[in-house]
Chains A and B, each alone.
Chain A
């Protein structure tokens, strides 16, 4: 139960961060990516603030034996930089650049009731399910 509440709280804080930073708005994301046009560098500050905070925070957290509400830390084990990673990342960049939504902001934008976010999120979930189905079969 505690781990469910802590995940809910973390999701809320994450969503508020997306709102405060403006990253929930695809127009801001696309203007960040549009260096040749009306460039808005704000998102570089979002990435720096987030990654910097995690860099410092993880140093303290990962020194402990285990997380507070679970038995162990679950960290990624894959280390290979292979074709699947590269092609997945390249396609993700294309999809992100087309509309300006990545998975987190799409979900938070969904909460504002914006219809484009609903359509994008439904397609995104279908894409995730489709890929997982393909890999399984």
Chain B
């Protein structure tokens, strides 16, 4: 069930720079942090804010979802997404990621990219904790169980 992947430092760095540019764009143009959990979380549940607030969030999410189509048009191939997990595991992991990113006010992008770049101690703490928990989880599921 473990798919081997090659070490690709250059494309990883280039992709990371694109992600960073997107976050800089969103701050320069919209004045917003590019934290996906926060952006998407603001779309669901109660809306204590201006209804117009939903449109930019929806547009950003639409861009994320549409990106593979642009990629497909440019390269002729869909990006590889290999997942071998069972249906129950996908559902449990999805529920956990959804609830926990709202409780912890951020995910890999909000805390791990934008927060670290702002030198926020709160985001640094969150990033350290979720990285440690993720490393431990993978160690347990792949090498202990």
Contacts and interface: CB of A to CB of B under 8 A. Distances in A.
Interface of A: 2-28, 30-31, 33-38, 40-55, 57-58, 61-62, 64, 66-76, 78-81, 84-104, 106-114, 116-117, 119-133, 135-136
A33 B55 contact: no
- List of 6 A-B pairs having minimum Cβ-Cβ separation, nearest first: A11-B63, A127-B98, A88-B104, A21-B15, A49-B16, A15-B67
A90 B20 contact: no
Interface in B83-97: 83, 85, 87, 89-97
Interface of A (DSSP majority class): helix
A66 B79 CA distance: 37
A104 B18 contact: no
Size bin of chain B's contact surface = 35 or more
Label chain B's interface by main secondary structure. helix
Contacts of A48: 13, 16
A23 B107 CA distance: 14
Given A4-B55, A79-B121, A116 B14 contact: no
Contact of A30 (B13, B68, B138): B138
8 contacts: A57-B23, A88-B100, A94-B137, A95-B95, A103-B36, A116-B85, A120-B93, A128-B45
B142 interface: yes
Interface string B113-145: 111111011100111011111111111011100
